[in-house]
Amino acid sequence: MTNFHTISILVSNESGVLSRIVDLFSGRGYNIESLTVAPTIDRLFSRVTIVTDGDEAAIEQINKQLNRVVPVIKVADLNIGESVEREIALVKIQVKDEEKSDILRIAEATNSKIIDVTDKTYILQAIGDEKQIQALVEMVRPYSVKEFVRSGKVAISRNSQFSNIKNL
């Protein structure tokens, strides 16, 4: 079974850092399942969150290799500590009149929101962990899904893995 890990990487916010990380993954044959990146509260730093798979040895290598990249400041495998993760998904569904109430019910059941409505389409927004997003995917599948976009995960540890760098 594939073993997904969420790796959170704190980097200096300078040009080219993302390419260094992505090059490392492709050059060494590691898989990127999803990737997000944005500045932290302090704009001198950015946070990259990568979901990848591999056995323990592979994850350990990824961790060490990332640490070797000069502008990488800290790497944390969030599957080890307890962490909270979220993802956002947007689904555009073409709806017939008789389906509209179904969609409303799905939105309610999956804790999603309808954030845009035209006479032919609804856009649903779901924010949640992997399971919640997957639940929405399964429920809308029978309908006419026109577009589906997902942000990739962001995650945060519940303890203080990054406590040595304040407020990041």
Partner 1 sequence: MTNEVCTGAQILLKSLVKEGVKEIFGYPGGVILTVYEALYNQKDIKHYLVRHEQAAVHAAEGYARVTGRPGVALVTSGPGACNTVTGIANAYYDGYPIVVFTGQVGLNQIGNDAFQEADVVGITRSCCKHNYLVKDVKDLQRIIKEAFHIATTGKPGPVVVDLPKDILTQKTTFDYPKEVKIAGYNPNYKGHPIQISKALKMLSEAHRPIIISGGGVLTSSAHEELLKVANMLKTPVCHTLMGTGTFPANSELDLGMLGMHGNFWANHAVSHADVIFALGTRFNDRITGCLQRFARDAHVIHVDIDPCSISKNVKADIPIVGDVKNVLEGMISEFEKTNPNIYVEDKNNWLNQIEEWKRNRAVVKSPEGKLSAIDVINKLYEMTKEYDPIVCTEVGQHQMWTAQNFKFNKPRRLVTSGGLGTMGFGFPAAMGACAAYPDKLVLNIAGDGSIQMNIQEMATCADYGFKVINCIIDNGYLGMVRQWQEKLFHEHYSETKISHPDFVKLAEAYGALGIRIEKEEEIEPAIKKAIEAKCPVILDFVTESMEMVYPWVLAGEPLTKVLLSNDC
Give contact residues for partner 1 (rule: CB under 8 A): 11-12, 15-16, 19-20, 23-24, 27, 57, 60-61, 64-65, 67-74
Select 24 or 127, whichever has its Cβ closest to partner 1. Answer: 24
Take residue 154 and report the two structure tokens written for it: 């962001």
In the complex, what is the shortest distance from the CB of residue 160 to partner 1, in angstroms, rounded to a whole number? 18
For residues 51 and 4, is the Cβ–Cβ distance under 8 A?
yes
Query: How far is Cα 42 from Cα 64, in angstroms, rounded to an integer?
Result: 25
For residues 64 and 126, is the Cβ–Cβ distance under 8 A?
no
Take residue 142 and report the two structure tokens written for it: 């029978």
In the complex, what is the shortest distance from the CB of residue 27 to partner 1, in angstroms, rounded to a whole number? 5
Take residue 8 and report the two structure tokens written for it: 């959170």
Select 26 or 101, whichever has its Cβ closest to partner 1. Answer: 26
Select 71 or 152, whichever has its Cβ closest to partner 1. Answer: 71
